[in-house]
DNA sequence: TTCACACTTCGATCCAGAACGAAGCATTTG
DNA sequence: CAAATGCTTCGTTCTGGATCGAAGTGTGAA
């Protein structure tokens, strides 16, 4: 009827329960995969896919392809602000969602991400390596420095095998439990393998959790912390 | 699925085209009647009534009864901020509504509101009276001071008739074209009647517009300006 | 290569909720 | 008082869009 921006389209998108659940999950700042978001929303992956497509289309979300996963995240500060504002309004009126049981904390501390270490431990590792100058960034690429090469050779990584592979040695991987990055790529995989080989940690059979032994955790912190 | 405020309910309300149109109309800061909002939204009064009820229920809107009208306004700054934010998002993606022709400017300058003067002229009148000390506010009530009484007696208002009425002499009325108040009540009505009696102004036959003559406008400004 | 997994697209179903006609209530006007 | 106006409530219709099963695409693992 009048001129002006069309609020309805955007608000209607946020207004669907499934999508709203996804958005609140993403408000943590983490990037989540389509399947994870489907679980958060309580719908099947097909349905989630449609929702995510629509939200990406109007630039509410940002899509990031990584291997066979699609990571979705809140597009920018402006979107986050609006959602936060809506939360404020809802809160004031006493509109709250039903809560479920607490999430598995083990997954947040350490878990496998494809084949490498993720979670708090993974992020901590990444930060330490970067700080010590074992990793260096040039643009989008992540590189293992000579010092880093020596360090990991000492740690027991077999570079003779790794160097032959065509896939990248180091890659940055978005971590969903922390909002930071952790180390992916061939090196990331090799590190996790070595951690298990050393009996510092083991894969949980039922989940993606990585269980550190007491000795293993101490050694990990001693080595990388 | 998770705990936290329920965005969906609020956003879904804003997400309906009819309601979104109403909200954008109200974003001017003006308070509008249910019928006016129905026209803005392009729906019948029944439908508008339901919409307005829902929005009032979750404290997005504020309802104010005035005579046989219901004035609706944006509840508070927080709500306005969220809507403004949504406008920003929509604008950025290029989602705009179709525009219509320009609105009738005459209605904004001067019109009848029930039986008294509204629009820019009405607001100006109200401000001037208040500033000169002819009107005084005590809490919610508006009172005509003794000086005001004398002034309007000079102007030609017949208080002998007005004083007998039980309905309030002075009332504050929300103005939709300006966001300020103008004078309502028996005195408000008497003033408009007197303006017409003096041939300073006349009612438009086709609309609620009040058309001032050149002489009338000059005299009005001279008297009240 | 084959299998498994993550995700998407297609097609069909189904329901919440928007819309309006009709009728009712409240207020003002005449 | 009756008539007109502003608004709301009720009951019904109908459609946009969420949902999921099934099938297709692409990536990684064995």
Long-range contacts of the stretch A149-155 (C-beta < 8 A, 24+): A152/A187, A152/A190, A152/A191, A155/A191, A155/A194, A155/A223
A159 and A135 part of one domain: yes
> What is the Cα A165 distance to its own chain's centre?
25
Confidence category of residue B77, pLDDT binned at 50, 70, 90: confident
Is B182 a member of any domain?
yes
In a domain, A1, yes or no: no
Q: What is the DSSP string of B82-98?
A: HHHHHHHHHHHHT-BPP
Does B53 fall in a domain?
Answer: yes
The tally of domains found in chain A comes to 2
pLDDT band, residue B97 (cuts 50/70/90): low
Residues A83 and A123 in one domain: no
Cβ-based contacts with strand C at under 7 Å: A 33-36, 45-46, 48-50, 52-53, 63, 68-70; B 12, 16-18, 41, 43-44, 46-47, 50-51, 54, 67-68, 114-115
In chain A, residues with a C-beta closer than 8 Å to the C-beta of B58 are 89, 93, 95
Domain coverage including residue A126: 106-224
Summarised one tens digit per residue, pLDDT across range B124-146 is 898 889 889 999 886 557 889 99
Inspect the interface and report whether the beta carbons of B100 and A40 lie closer than 8 Å: no
Asked if B111 and B93 sit in the same domain, the reply is: no
Here the tokens at position A83 are: 């959602």
The answer to whether the beta carbons of residues B176 and B32 sit under 8 Å apart is yes
- To test the contact with chain A by mutation, choose from B2, B3, B6 the residue with the greatest count of A C-beta atoms within 10 A, namely B6
Alpha helices in B16-132 (DSSP H): 17-26, 34-41, 45-57, 77-93, 105-109, 120-131
User: Is B86:A82 a contact under the CB 8 Å cutoff?
Assistant: yes
CB B67 within 8 A of CB B38: no
In a domain, A14, yes or no: yes
Q: Which nucleotide is nearest to B68 (CA to C1')?
A: C27
Residues sharing a CB contact under 8 Å with residue B120, sequence separation 6 or more, in sequence order: B108, B109, B110, B177, B178
Mean pLDDT by runs of 10 across the 225 residues of chain A is: 75 96 84 90 92 96 90 89 88 65 54 71 86 79 88 88 72 58 81 86 65 79 81
3-state SS assignment for residue B33: strand
Let me know whether A207 and A115 are in one domain.
yes
B133 and B84 share one domain: no
Q: Of B101, B127, B156, which residue is a domain's last?
A: B101
Q: What is the pLDDT of residue B100?
A: 32
Q: Answer yes or no: is A23 within a domain.
A: yes
Q: Is B56 in the same domain as B162? A: no
CA A55 to chain centre: 20
- Judged against a pLDDT cut of 50, whether residue B44 lies above it is answered with yes
B47: its two tokens:
């439908």
pLDDT at residue A177, as a whole number: 52
Cβ of A12 near strand D (under 7 Å)? The reply is yes
Percent with pLDDT over 70 in chain B = 80
B210 and B130, same structural domain?
yes
Read off the pLDDT of residues B179-204 as tens digits, 9 standing for 90 and up.
467 787 788 888 988 888 888 887 76
Residue B76 contacts residue A47 (beta carbons within 8 Å):
no
* Identity of the residue in A6, A40, A91 whose CB atom sits nearest the CB atom of B96: A6
A63 and A128 assigned to the same domain = no
Residue A164 sits at φ, ψ, to 5 deg, of -75, -25
* CATH code assigned at B28: 1.10.10.10
- List bases, strand C, within 7 Å of protein CB: 5-10, 17-23, 26-29
Per-residue pLDDT tens over the stretch B2-35: 556 789 999 999 999 999 999 998 886 678 999 9
Do residue B127 and residue B197 come from a single domain? yes
| Residue B206 pLDDT > 60 | no
What is the complex's ipTM, to 2 decimals?
0.60
Q: What single DSSP character describes residue B209?
A: B
Give DSSP secondary structure letters for chain A: ---SB-HHHHHHHHHSHHHHHHHHHHTTS--EEHHHHHHHHTS-HHHHHHHHHHHHHTTSEEEEEETTEEEEEE--HHHHHHHHHHHHHHHHHT-BPPP-PPP-HHHHHSEEETTEEESHHHHHHHHHHHHTTSEEEETTEEEE-HHHHHHHHHHT--HHHHTT-SS-S-EEEE-SSSSSEEEEHHHHHHHHHHHHHTTSEEE-SSSSBEEEPHHHHHHHHHHH-
Phi and psi at B135, nearest 5°, equal -120, 145
Domain boundary residue among B43, B76, B101?
A: B101
Closest to B113 (Cα-Cα) out of B209, B225, B213: B209
Torsion angle (degrees, nearest 10) of CA A137, A140, A144, A147: -10
A58 and A133 together in one domain: no
Mapped onto helix, strand or coil, the DSSP state of residue B187 is: helix
With beta carbons less than 8 A apart as the criterion, state whether B125 and B180 touch. Answer: no
Q: How far is A76 from chain B (nearest CA, A)?
A: 10
| Phi, psi for B222 (deg, rounded to 5) | -60, -40
Q: Are residues A114 and A213 in the same domain?
A: yes
CA-to-CA dists, residue B100 to A79, A167, B104, angstroms = 29, 58, 12
Is A2 within the bounds of a domain? no
User: Which pLDDT belongs to residue A67?
Assistant: 83
| pLDDT of B225 higher than 50 | yes
* Other C-beta atoms lying within 10 Å of the C-beta of residue B118: 30
Q: Are A186 and A85 in contact (CB under 8 A)?
A: no
Output the pLDDT for position A120. Answer: 78
| CA atoms of B99 and B95, how far apart (whole Å) | 13
Scored b (16 or more CB within 10 A) or e, A115-153 reads ebbbbbbbbbbbbebbeeebbeeeeeebebeeebbebbe
> CA of B46 and C1' of C17: distance in angstroms?
15
At B112, list the tokens.
């009848």
pLDDT score, position A202? 78
Q: Give the torsion through C-alpha atoms of A25, A29, A34, A38, to 10 deg.
A: 0
Measured in angstroms, the CA of B76 and the nearest CA of chain A are apart by 10
Q: Which of A48, A67, A101 is the last residue of a domain?
A: A101
Residue B1 lies in a domain: no
Same domain, A111 and A220: yes
Look at residue B128 and tell me if it is in a domain. Answer: yes
**Run of H or E residues at B61:** strand B61-66
Q: What is the average pLDDT score of chain B? A: 81
């Amino acid at each position: 009827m009048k001129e002006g921006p069309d609020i309805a389209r955007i608000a209607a998108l946020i207004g669907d329960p499934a999508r709203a659940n996804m958005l609140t999950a993403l408000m943590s700042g983490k990037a989540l995969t389509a399947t994870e978001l489907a679980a958060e929303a309580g719908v099947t992956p097909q349905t989630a896919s449609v929702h995510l497509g629509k939200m990406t289309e109007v630039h509410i979300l940002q899509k990031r392809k990584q291997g066979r996963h699609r990571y979705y995240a809140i597009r920018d500060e402006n979107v986050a602000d609006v959602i936060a504002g809506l939360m404020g309004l809802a809160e004031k009126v006493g509109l709250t969602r039903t809560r479920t049981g607490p999430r598995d904390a083990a997954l947040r501390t350490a878990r496998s991400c494809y084949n490498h270490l993720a979670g708090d431990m993974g992020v901590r590792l990444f930060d330490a390596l970067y700080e010590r100058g074992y990793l260096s960034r040039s643009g989008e690429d992540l590189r293992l420095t000579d010092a880093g090469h020596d360090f990991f050779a000492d740690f027991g990584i077999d570079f003779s095998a790794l160097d032959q592979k065509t896939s990248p040695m180091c890659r940055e991987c978005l971590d969903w439990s922390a909002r930071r990055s952790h180390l992916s790529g061939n090196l990331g995989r090799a590190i996790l393998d070595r951690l298990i080989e050393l009996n510092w940690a083991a894969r949980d059979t039922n989940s993606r959790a990585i269980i550190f032994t007491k000795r293993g955790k101490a050694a990990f912190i001693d080595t990388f912390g």
